[in-house]
Amino acid sequence: MTAEAQTSPLASELTRVAGGSKPDARPLDGHRTRLAAWQPTLISALPVVAVLGLAAILRFWQLDKVGFNSDEAVYSGTAASLAGNDVMRSMFPIFRAHPLFMQILLSFGMHDGISDWVARAINATIGVATVGATYLLGRRLYGHKVGLVACLLLAVMPYHVIVSRQVLLDGLMTLCTTLVLYCAVRYVESGALPWMVATSALMGAAVLSKETSIVMVGALYAFFALTPTVRLRLRHVGIGLLVMAGVIIAFPLALSLSGRVSAGQHYLLWQLFRRSNHETLFYFHVVPGALGWATVVAAAVALVWLRLENTWRERLLILWIVVPTVFFSLWPVKGFQYLLPIAPVVALLAGRALARVSTVAALRRRRAGELAMPALVVAVMLSLLLPTWQRISPSTSGRYLAGTGGLPGGREAGRWVHDNVPADAQLLAIGPSMANVLQFYGQRRVFALSVSPDPANRNPAYLPVPNPDFSVRQGKFRYLVWDSYSANRSPSFGEKVTRLVDKYHGVAVFTSSVIVRSKAGQPVAAPVVVIYRVRTSR
């Protein structure tokens, strides 16, 4: 055997390291090639992650500083009932009003107890996910730059931040409808049946989140009817409708199996024929400011300035805004949060305009093009961020618009009721909003004076008090509750509670106050909830 043949592998390796031979570069080169291929994706993902982080900060900051409002109490109470809380089930029945998709999600966080923070955190997480979905939609339609600007605007938009910080159904509905829009775009681009199925399934999920989202089906119908260039196969439509119906039917089927069909029918009839709660132009007064006037102007500029480039994409986005806006403006029942599904689309159109500014400026002067877009985006973002930061700070007033935040003083009053009011005692409040909050936190039955005895004019979930004076005199109600929100909303019923307090020698046993500024600019304590114990014949 030769000396060369007797050389050990270790000796060969030492010779190679010492410089006798060069290492094999192929594995390292392959690693570098893969890294280079992923580098553009990683670089583009970093700003998106930063935006999602900003969205999370705004949605989780001081999340439970103020207690629940009425709707939050109802949905959380229903979720607690689903989680097996027998006390809550007696006051917040499972089949009370809306479909239960959101409440089912909330129930998973309530098996070990009820927490304001956990319930709101679930909705805040859904809000952050919607920001991410907006990026995906924008990137699909117009590219990375537009998608990034759009999700940044939505991340700091007062409208979306305010609603997604609350336990409301509209946040989950908006996530579902944004994904519906994304899948619809993919279907239009590809004509593939799986994207139609995905669109329909998500549309069904949106309806299970909140039944009013069915109006977005009208937006899709209008788009396909007004866009003959988009090929739509009838077989795909039929399959899509079956899929959507199969998802939606889960709620009426559950009602039927539980024997609560009449409850759902009564609530539907009440929603269809109840009196208007706001003027027709309510949304035109309230929503543009919540979306941000700069965002609305930028979206309008995009449609006018780039009108020669408009295609089916812009038609789809416009109808996604117009159809629900017209419907809910004509619909007698209006809520601040009802138009939330249009927020991602408005942000997307605004992002299109802002991104195009840099392209136009770059054609004239490179440096100006590089600076124009960031400057405009920062300006628009600050115009949204400043009012958002003010709105997410705890309210210092007993007056607010339903759907815009928690109810000051309600949680504190409810906890006092839980700790100090006998378990068999019943309370009488001015309106059902405060009654719901006190029932949730206090776990005592609370009736509302303003509930109409006419079944056609009241929510079927609420029971009227036909003769409050007689009920108090007979000892049915040992505690009367006055709150500034209900008193401002229904002055006549607020005065009626005050008269009952005076007549039955009510003594204030609890007062919850907030600090407000007087006309002279001095901080003063203003009562927002006062609980009176009254003397009765019993």
- Given CA atoms 176, 177, 183, 187 in this order, what sign does their dihedral have? positive
Helix axes 366-392, 26-60, angle to 10 degrees: 40
Nearest to residue 295, comparing CAs of 373, 225, 354? 354
Q: Residues 469-500: pLDDT tens digits?
A: 999 999 999 999 999 999 998 999 999 999 99
pLDDT value of position 396:
47
Residue 457 CB contacts under 8 Å (≥ 6 apart), including other chains: 274, 275
pLDDT at 19: 46
Domains and CATH numbers, the chain: 40-271+278-392 (no CATH), 410-533 (3.40.50)
The DSSP 8-state label assigned to residue 396 in this structure reads: -
The bridge status of strand 479-483 relative to strand 523-533 is antiparallel
Q: What is the pLDDT of residue 250?
A: 84
Residue 270's pLDDT is 62
Q: Residue 375: what pLDDT?
A: 83
What is the structure's pLDDT at 21?
A: 46
Tokens standing for residue 88: 């809550």
Which pLDDT does position 397 carry in this prediction? 45
pLDDT score for 20: 45
Report phi then psi at 394, rounded to 5.
Answer: -55, 140
The parts of the chain modelled with pLDDT lower than 50 are: 1-11, 13-23, 25, 396-399
One-letter identity of residue 52: L
| pLDDT tens track for 491-537 | 999 999 999 999 999 999 999 988 877 677 778 888 999 999 998 76
Give the integer Cα–Cα distance in Å for 129 and 152.
13
Residue with tokens 């129930």: 107
In Å, the largest CA–CA distance within the chain is 119
C-alpha 19/C-alpha 260 separation (Å) is 84
Residue-level pLDDT at 314:
95
